[in-house]
Amino acid sequence: MPAIEILTASRLPPLYFDRLKTDYVVHERLHDTDPAALQAAAPRIRAIAASGESKVPGELMARLPRLEIVSVMGVGYDGVDVAAAKARGVMVTHTPDVLNDEVADTAIGLMLCAARQLPAADRYVRAGQWLNGPMPLARKMSGSRLGLVGMGRIGKAIAHRALAFGMSIAYTARSAKAELPYRFEPSAKALAAASDFLVVITPGGAGTRKLIDAEVLAALGPKGILVNVARGSVVDEAALVEALTSGKLGGAALDVFENEPNVPQALIDLPHVVLAPHIGSATRETRQAMADLALANLKAHFEGRPVLTAVPELRAAKA
Ligand code: 8YV
């Protein structure tokens, strides 16, 4: 049987990319690098391999007449046009659950970094400033109020950890989840007004674009801290910069940005803002588990078995 041919949608993490190259014939980002070569290979390409940040528009799928599956290494798949995939009978899979602990750990770490100013403390010692006197006092996280924008699998894992810090927990989501012991707020603004820390962990995409806007940030207030471990698109970045520079918002810790890997200079220039390069799931253990699952989905599909983790919109279609 001829080897199965695959297109990569963007640069992929090596743990995924290297294994793909072992198991398949990989066409690397031809739509970006060599459209003529893509046209030549298109009739043979049966899969697209993507990461959580990849863009897989309907227009790209339309150029691949034999496309059967898009396998995303990531829980987020907001860059994939799932409606177009569904219309063409193309399966889309992602890698939920295996990264819940990691992203929740990152969220708690960023909260502590923003509250206790740990990156600034490190810089303080290295710069020899301690010799001139102690660092300005930080603020306490334990016992404060946490608001979660999004209460899916990762949101629950963050809440679980926050309980150990004695935090009170509220959330907003599309609907209240009666089975959870946490307070539901009907909007991000109402939640922000009642929170010390607002942690964003909701899917990206059109439904949540700029959900965290100037009004929400003002409601969080001059003592409030915003933490984003979801997608940059969920926060109005210009409004965030304005709120931070004018003092309407107390602080922020950000793992994701509107136009990665470009971070606005205004954020880089704010010393009390904590910045990370989209590392929510970035440990060897977790990225390995994500790559294994993304590969297992491809393998199952091409062996004629049901995929393991179809995206929710396509789960019914799979059954
Ligand atoms: C990764 C992510 O950056 O899972 C997601 O949705 O954003 C991240 O865990 C990425 O997708 C790794 O491929």
The tens digit of pLDDT for each residue in 123-148 reads 999 999 999 999 999 999 999 999 99
| Cα–Cα dist 104/164, whole Å | 13
Whether 287 sits among the annotated catalytic residues: the reply is no
H or E stretch including 118?
A: helix 118-126
In a domain, 209, yes or no: yes
In a domain, 21, yes or no: yes
- Do 130 and 235 lie in a common domain? yes
Quote the DSSP letter at residue 306: P
- Do 56 and 181 lie in a common domain? no
H or E stretch including 85?
A: helix 82-88
| Cα–Cα dist 111/199, whole Å | 8
- Do 94 and 104 lie in a common domain? no
- Do 110 and 233 lie in a common domain? yes
The tens digit of pLDDT for each residue in 149-191 reads 999 999 999 999 999 999 999 999 999 999 999 999 999 999 9
In this predicted structure, the answer to whether residue 2 has a pLDDT above a threshold of 80 is no
In a domain, 9, yes or no: yes
Whether 11 sits among the annotated catalytic residues: the reply is no
- Do 264 and 142 lie in a common domain? yes
In a domain, 46, yes or no: yes
Phi/psi of residue 26, nearest 5 degrees? -105, 125
Rg (CA), the chain: 21
- Do 67 and 107 lie in a common domain? no
Say which amino acid occupies 82: V
pLDDT-above-90 percentage for the chain: 97
CATH number at residue 132: 3.40.50.720
Whether 305 sits among the annotated catalytic residues: the reply is no
The tens digit of pLDDT for each residue in 33-71 reads 999 999 999 999 999 999 999 999 999 999 999 999 999
* pLDDT value at residue 87: 98
- Do 250 and 112 lie in a common domain? yes
Residue range of the domain that includes 80: 5-98+285-317
Number of domains in the chain: 2
Indicate whether residue 8 lines ligand 1 (CB < 6 A). no
- Do 36 and 179 lie in a common domain? no
In a domain, 143, yes or no: yes
- Do 146 and 247 lie in a common domain? yes
Q: Which atom of ligand 1 is nearest to the CA of 53?
A: 11
- Do 107 and 224 lie in a common domain? yes
- Say how many Å lie between the CA of residue 73 and the centre of ligand 1: 7
